Amino acid sequence: MAVRSITNAEVSGKKVLVRVDFNVPLKDGAVADDTRIKAALPTIEHLLKNKASSVILMSHLGRPKGQRAPEFSLKPTAERLAELLGRPVKMAPDVVGPEVEQMAGELGAGDVMMLENVRFYKEETDNDAEFSKKLAALADLYVNDAFGSAHRAHASTEGVAHHLPSYAGFLIEKEVRFFEPVLKDPQQPMVAIIGGAKVSSKIGVLESLLPNCKTLIIGGGMAYTFLKAQGHEIGNSMLEEDYLDTARSLLKAAEQKGVEIVLPVDHIVASEFAENASPEAVDSVDIPSGKLGMDIGPKTIAKLKEIIGNAKTVVWNGPMGVFEFDTFAGGTLEIAKAVAECSGTTIVGGGDSVAAANKFELAERMDHVSTGGGASLEFLEGRTLPGIAALQD
Ligand code: AMP
């Protein structure tokens, strides 16, 4: 279901409370990576251009666990935002309370104000109704642009939406626009590439995508549990014994639904899990004893490239190997390139595949790179995200 878009909101003359995701890394009291702040600019600039009387921003930063903690202050983000916007950003001394109410009341045309870290209050994560009301009382409209927190029912992401007309900012709108069809009616053939460490953390995604895709590629550490379930030798590769039955059921379900499951047919292995381990190519599905699979091999890469090249929709979540170690990043790099070159709709969701796309400088060439790790995983699992549900009719 589509979300109410900011483009349909009458913002002129209104005070707008915007939930952004400024949970950025800090170094020496300054913003070390401003990607998330830059990502919020289109929504903030849209509001200012359309004559919102003022824009009040709120976010969390780190985990201050309901306590005021200066090292988790959002002040550095307000300073960086002011530079990017080319206009001052007032820093509120708190999230709620008389001082903040007064400051909010005195905001003039086009003023921008940043509230303190919402997680200075445990009422935020408790989704406390009174706290939500206090936040809502600061403004006339609510806009949520923090997809990364949309899977949490917190006061700033969900509670506040019950008290104000609520809209999705451009970031959330784009996430929904790309992710929703994947679960409903994707352009076929759809290929899902699911990798990463564990079957246990991806089983929900595998089961949810299975009915909609033509081909399901399983790579990374989780592939070995599937290979073992098929009766192959996997040496010392990553294995989740408890998930062998789950893997067998998924393979069976795929067969019944006519979905092609593609697992690695060759490997790059090592004798130990280490950055400086020597890579060895194994030209068979089976892995010799004493060795562990660290990456997909060249035959697998060639096979996957062909499948991805013919796809109309590609969803990629999780690396194909231990991409953090350069020696074992080749498979993930080649698959990232294939996704970037695919002429169909390409969606990268989940923390580590986004990190991989960024590492290889290919993110710009994807149609959509999700801004939320846990949130995109839950979205792909077909779960209702409370922060999104609050923006739907
Ligand atoms: P996830 O967060 O579940 O997407 O998992 C990402 C992690 O999976 C990365 O840290 C990778 O290093 C790891 N990974 C990928 N392939 C393997 C493998 N063959 N063996 C062990 N870990 C792997």
352 Cβ below 6 A of ligand 1: yes
The pLDDT of 233-251, averaged and rounded, is: 98
DSSP-derived secondary structure for 32-90: S--HHHHHHHHHHHHHHHTTBSEEEEE---S--TTS--GGG-SHHHHHHHHHHHTS--E
How many helices, marked H, and strands, marked E, lie in the chain? 14, 17
| Numbered ranges of CATH 3.40.50.1260 in the chain | 6-171, 185-380
| pLDDT on residue 340 | 97
Mean pLDDT of the chain: 96
SS3 category, 292: strand
Pairing of strands 111-114, 30-31: unpaired
279 Cβ below 6 A of ligand 1: no
Q: Separation of 252 CA from ligand 1 center, angstroms?
A: 25
Is residue 161 exposed (0-12), middle (13-18) or buried (19+ Cβ within 10 Å)?
A: buried
- To the query of whether residue 351 is one of the catalytic residues in this protein, the response is yes
Q: What is the per-residue pLDDT for 27?
A: 93
Percent of the chain at pLDDT exceeding 70: 100
Phi, psi of 192 (to 5 degrees): -105, 130
Alpha-carbon span 301 to 336, nearest angstrom: 11
- The dotted CATH code for 6-171 is 3.40.50.1260
Place of tokens 């060439």: 365
Is the bond preceding 189 in cis, omega lying within 30 degrees of 0?
yes
The set of residues, in sequence order, having a beta carbon less than 8 Å from that of 302 and lying 6+ positions away, is none
User: What's residue 1's pLDDT?
Assistant: 73
Element (H, E) at 339: helix 330-341
User: Which atom of ligand 1 is the closest one to the Cα of 323?
Assistant: 12
pLDDT at 139 exceeding the cut of 80:
yes
Concatenate the DSSP letters of all residues of 123-149 into one string: HHHTT-HHHHHHHHTT-SEEEE--GGG
What is the reported pTM?
Answer: 0.92
Closest-lying ligand 1 atom to the alpha carbon of residue 201:
3
Examine the residue annotation and report whether 49 is marked as an active-site residue of this protein.
Answer: no
CA-CA distance, 282 to 301, in Å (whole number)? 13
Ligand 1 in contact with 221 (CB < 6 A)?
A: yes
Q: Whose CA is closest to 287, among 304, 263, 316, 256?
A: 263
Give yes or no for residue 223 having a pLDDT over 80.
yes
CATH homologous superfamily for the domain 185-380:
Phosphoglycerate kinase, N-terminal domain (3.40.50.1260)
Which of the four pLDDT bands, split at 50, 70 and 90, describes residue 333? very high
Q: Distance between CA atoms of 342 and 249, rounded to whole angstroms?
A: 31
The stretch 306-314 carries a mean pLDDT of: 98
Pocket probe for ligand 1: among 199, 263, 296, 322, the residue whose CB has the most ligand atoms within 8 Å is 322
